[in-house]
Amino acid sequence: MQNINEFRIFYNRTLHTKLKYLERTRIQLLFLFGLSLSVLAGSGWLVYWLKMPVISLLIWIPIAAYSSFLGWKMRKFKNSFKPVIVQEILDFIPHQITYNYKIFIQKDRFLSSKFFATAAPYYKGEDYLVGQVGSTTFEMCELDVRDRSKTDNQLRPLFRGIFFHATCKNSFQGEIIMLPRTDRAYLTRSVKAFIREGGEALPVKYPGFNERFMTYKGKTTNPDVVINPAFYGILFQFAERLNKKVYISFIAGHMYIGIWEPKDILEPNILRSNVSFKLVSEFYVDLYNVVSLVEDFDRLH
What are the residue ranges spanned by the domains of the chain?
A: 4-83, 97-262
Q: How far apart are CA 43 and CA 40, in angstroms?
A: 5
Contact predicate 301/235, CB 8 Å: no
Gap between the terminal Cα atoms of the chain = 19
Considering just the CA atoms, what is the radius of gyration of the chain in Å?
A: 24
Tell me what the pLDDT averaged over the chain comes to.
87
The neighbour count for residue 255, using CB atoms within 10 Å, is 23
Residue 168 in this model has a pLDDT that exceeds 90: no
The confidence band for 151, taking pLDDT boundaries of 50, 70 and 90, is: confident
Give Cα separations from 56 to 38, 40, 48, 49 (angstroms): 15, 10, 9, 12
Residue 36, CB half-sphere, CA atoms under 13 Å: how many? 18
Instruction: List 58's β-bridge partners, or say none.
Output: none
Q: How far apart are CA 107 and CA 159, in angstroms?
A: 12
By mean pLDDT, which of 10-24, 57-71, 197-211, 274-288 is the weakest?
57-71
Residue 42 in this model has a pLDDT that exceeds 80: no
The better pLDDT of the pair 93, 202 is held by 202
Q: Is 96 exposed, middle or buried (0-12, 13-18, 19+ CB in 10 A)?
A: exposed
Contact predicate 254/227, CB 8 Å: no
Instruction: List 132's β-bridge partners, or say none.
Output: 137
Residue 155 in this model has a pLDDT that exceeds 70: yes
The confidence band for 79, taking pLDDT boundaries of 50, 70 and 90, is: confident
Q: How far apart are CA 48 and CA 53, in angstroms?
A: 7
Give Cα separations from 106 to 103, 124, 129, 260 (angstroms): 9, 9, 13, 18
Helix axes 277-300, 230-242, angle to 10 degrees: 170
pLDDT attached to residue 49:
64
How much is the pTM? 0.85
The neighbour count for residue 269, using CB atoms within 10 Å, is 12
The confidence band for 19, taking pLDDT boundaries of 50, 70 and 90, is: very high
Mark 17-46 as b/e (b = at least 16 C-beta within 10 Å): ebbeebeeebeebbebbeebeeebeebeee
